[in-house]
Structure 1
Amino acid sequence: MRLLLLASTLMALASANAHAQQVVDAIKNAQNQIIAYLPSPTSVRIAQALKDAANAGIPVYLIAPRQAHLEKRSYLLSVALAATQTPPAALNYYPATLNAAPLIIIDNRVLYLGPGVQDGIGAVEKSGGNKLSRAVEMTTQAMKHAPTVAISQLVKERYGLDR
């Protein structure tokens, strides 16, 4: 029984990783823009792919809750710092909390949705159509209304330099 449970768990993880790899590949192949809502970005592969895309000149719009950079395993600050380098990468950070699962929109044509887009392990759903349209509208509105927060402020908060 334990062996069966272990085998099914390993198969589920392998399947989820294949989905996460599809997200990484889609980010690498983006041509126009990437919109990512990542409440708790903990996948180093996805974080690195977003940074690489921004460094290649693909606009990356990163939406995350205002305090997400304070989580111990979060790569939010690492990704956001790409906007501070010289020359700056094409990355914009928007502090906002959405009533949605983690998602990544590639070129406004494909939606990846689910925990795997931020942790690299969980399930990922690939979608289009109405789900994509709703996600584009929701993220566009969030970016429009999000306050501006300097990346330097995130660094100060994360490392206690504001005290």
Structure 2
Amino acid sequence: MARTAIYPGSFDPLTNGHLAIIQRGLKLFDRLVVAVANNPQKSPLFTADERRALIREVVGEDPRVEVDSFDGLLVDYARRRGIPTVLRGLRAVSDFEYEFQLANMNNRLLPDFESVFVMTGEDYFFVSARLVREVATFGGDVSAFVPPAVIVALQRKLGRAPAAPRG
């Protein structure tokens, strides 16, 4: 039986940190469902379809990775899919506190649901999609933090030429 986990997130946009978690997750699980969360409380830069397409473009045709999206509670999505495990990345202590609360709530809502946490690598512990959006919006160079396909998508979405890399 294949070990499968859901890696949920807004992925607005996909960062190299997200990609590192996907790669590390594939060492732990046979399959990953990268699930774009549609959160009505957030105002995403990219649509869910655009985010799914970017993730698929970046991860390529790896048969171990499925890209999907969901609305509502993660545990409801997990129940529908029959996947009892979620993969989450942790960057800092503040992430741990939030993820600890979320894992316990999810476990109360779906008792057999397990959360697996992996630490983000030192190269990306400070990178968040929110910061990438903010820097890109003001014309900053985000090429060290996102895959090339995301840079192109950000340029198109923000209607500007690429920022010159600093160095």
Question: Shared topology, TM-score over 0.5?
Answer: no
Give the TM-score taking structure 2 as reference length.
Answer: 0.36
